[in-house]
Amino acid sequence: MIFIIAFRNVNRNKRRFLPLAISIAVTSALLFISNSFLEKINSSFESAYRTNITGDLTIAPGSSAGFTLFGSEAVLIGNFLIQPVLDDGDAILDIIRNSPLAANAAGQVSSLAKVDIAGTSQNQALFGVDFGSYTEMFPGLSVISGAFPPDGSSGILLNLSRYESIYSQNGSYPAIGTPVLVMAPLGNTFVIREVPFCGVFEYPIEDEAINRIALIDVDTARGLNGYVYAAEIIPDLPVGQTGLITSDIDDLFGEEGGIITGTDNGIDLSEIDELFVSGPSVGELQQTVRGAWNYILVRLSDGKDIGDFKKFLAETYGGDYLVRDWRRSIGGNALLVSYIQLTVNGGLFFVAFGALIIVINALVLSILERQREIGTMRALGISRFRLSVMICFETIFIVAGSAVIGIAAGCAGVLAINAIHIPLKNVFLNTLWGGGTMQGSVSIKTLGLYCLIIVSVVCASVVYPLKKTLGISPLCAMAGH
């Protein structure tokens, strides 16, 4: 009976409640669709990067907050900034690999460089890695052609997308073993290295940023970043009157002959040419700093979280380091999507608050108009509890009913858009959705969030109208006061 009376009261005041109900339904539908798209974009990023690029978390020097796995986040000058380095990265790797908290761990040296091969050049993000541990951590990475260089050898592997672009420019693919020139800025100068082209690889996802990654041996990457020291190698230079180094330095300034002459007292130009051909290479004169890593990528064991890992690392190792989740490790669009989702959810709460005020106002007006009716019901013996239940039912009909209709419409809209397969021709949108079509995700998490908000609004909006209703005196109401 109370249910029927509540429904009758809402129906009788539908002119007042209908605009409010429509507003709640439409707003709920639009917000649900927006959240569904953002949830899909967020899951696409997580699937792309957490599974294939970052692992669950990364460890970096404490001073590297402005850097991500792809380099500096500074605008314009980012290419010229040198990444901070973990000098004792190998020690940290050993600790992590022996910990039950981690399933896998691998080091990475990040560098931004211009990669020149077969007459084509492109700015690329270079990931200097130990190929064995890196592929063990990211088994989805596949080698399309060629192979990883042997341990201790230099080499570079290009992404399949870059490999195909070379073909589109040259009409032919570069052969395995083709020399690749790699140039990277280093402070006020730059570093050049030549490495062999070893193969083509592909990540199991399509993403514009990932397509620009090239994998290179870690020693070459360290050299590009300047993590080197002078080797204890003394070139076998000729000594004597006809060599580059004379037995007496005063001979360089003697009256007869000169530094470079055709006489016996000068330097023979053929000896200089021979030194350039047979002398020590840059790699022999410099050695890379072993254990120097920009990042350590970690995949956690099942059931473990970042909080557990931070506590473990602080207790066992200490030191100045920065532990970040996958999203903060790559920054850029992943963080942008997260911020947009927070903004939308924040807007959802503002909408809920606005709806709360409007619903309270509408219910109070309805109650004031029905004072005589409510007073008569009280005089006829209806208990305060039953009267409270009636007001609660009215609120549920207006708020929960409208919101549920809106959510159902939003869910139907998302499923319809998914079925249509709207193509995404924009590269940026394609990257966001991780595919060629616009898709939404109807998840239990999103539905649960909306149900929680609905319950909260219903509970909050019924308090004041209920207090107003129970405060009506049957005698005064029937007397018209």
Output 101 or 30, whichever has higher pLDDT.
101
Confidence of residue 453 (pLDDT cuts 50, 70, 90): confident
DSSP 8-state code for residue 423: B
pLDDT in tens, 340-396: 777 777 776 777 777 778 778 877 877 777 777 777 777 777 777 887 888 888 888
156-191 burial, b at 16+ Cβ within 10 Å, e below that, comes to bbbbebbbeebeeeeeeebeeeeebebbbbeeeeeb
Helix residue ranges, H only, 370-443 = 371-379, 384-395, 401-420, 427-433
Quick one: pLDDT at residue 242?
A: 40
Domain boundaries, the chain: 2-48+335-479, 63-232+282-319, 237-279
- Asked if 100 and 301 count as a contact pair (C-beta separation under 8 A), the reply is yes
Q: How far apart are CA 374 and CA 239, in angstroms?
A: 115
Residue 254, pLDDT > 60, answer no
What average pLDDT score do residues 143-167 get?
Answer: 92
Output 450 or 160, whichever has higher pLDDT.
160
Quick one: pLDDT at residue 273?
A: 58
Quick one: pLDDT at residue 245?
A: 43
- Asked if 351 and 27 count as a contact pair (C-beta separation under 8 A), the reply is yes
Quick one: pLDDT at residue 259?
A: 44
What average pLDDT score do residues 286-310 get?
Answer: 86
For residue 361, what are its two tokens? Answer: 């106002």
For residue 479, what are its two tokens? Answer: 């007397």
Please give the full DSSP string across 111-128, using - where no structure is assigned.
Answer: EEEEEEETTEEEEEEEEE
Confidence of residue 76 (pLDDT cuts 50, 70, 90): low
C-alpha dist (Å) from residue 344 to 9, 276, 322: 35, 64, 29
Q: How far apart are CA 220 and CA 226, in angstroms?
A: 10
Q: How far apart are CA 147 and CA 42, in angstroms?
A: 33
- Asked if 446 and 39 count as a contact pair (C-beta separation under 8 A), the reply is yes
pLDDT in tens, 202-233: 988 777 778 889 999 999 999 888 887 655 54
What average pLDDT score do residues 456-461 get?
Answer: 80
Output 196 or 470, whichever has higher pLDDT.
196
pLDDT in tens, 307-348: 889 888 888 877 778 899 888 888 776 777 777 777 777 776
Q: How many CB atoms are located within 10 Å of the residue 94 CB? A: 12
The residue count of the chain comes to 481
Q: How far apart are CA 231 and CA 280, in angstroms?
A: 11
* CA-atom Rg of the chain in angstroms: 35
Please give the full DSSP string across 242-255, using - where no structure is assigned.
Answer: TSSB-SSGGGGG-S
